[in-house]
Amino acid sequence: MQPMAAKLILWHELDADRPVVLLAEDEPIIRFDIADELRRLGCQVIEASNADEAIDIVKSTARLDLVVTDVRMPGNRDGLDVARAVRQERPGLMTVVMSGHLAPNDEHNHLIDLFLSKPTPSDKLATAIMEMIKASPANRDG
């Protein structure tokens, strides 16, 4: 685990002033689109291509300001598992869930701070994310 910690310190040093958003989305083109838009608005974006990667980041990254996750992704875990990991590991951190399949119900309420149905244009999604970040300075962790 030591090499990972060293890498994370480096990542943390690169840009201490911009919000850090974890974006978990398995469709690379959708991910690029959203990440580009968020970067254009001033965010640092950590791109995870599946839930396992996202959960690793949730557990280990020094700073996160918001998590955005798709629900259906390849592998044994999905976006709701990412949201569960956020609640467990970093309870103050807000989670945006986006899906074209999930109909959120009462069971999901405690996991999801904002639900966006897919497809949502990347500029609208990024604007909604920025508003959440601005409204929640306490999200900054570590």
CB closer to another protein out of 57 and 71: 57
CB closer to another protein out of 47 and 141: 47
Cα radius of gyration (the chain):
14
Contacts of 88 (CB under 8 A, 6+ apart): none
CB closer to another protein out of 3 and 137: 3
CB closer to another protein out of 47 and 108: 47
Least spacing, CB of residue 28 vs another protein, in Å: 4
Distance CA 14, CA 45 (A): 12
Least spacing, CB of residue 53 vs another protein, in Å: 4
DSSP-derived secondary structure for 114-136? EEEESS--HHHHHHHHHHHHHH-
Q: How far is CA 109 from CA 39, 45, 51, 80, in A?
A: 29, 25, 19, 11
Least spacing, CB of residue 133 vs another protein, in Å: 18
- Which residue is listed with tokens 């592998």? 75
* Site of interaction with another protein (CB under 8 A): 3-4, 7-8, 10-11, 14-15, 28-29, 31-32, 35, 39, 44, 46-50, 53, 56-57, 60
Least spacing, CB of residue 3 vs another protein, in Å: 7
- CA quadruple 25, 95, 35, 119: dihedral sign: positive
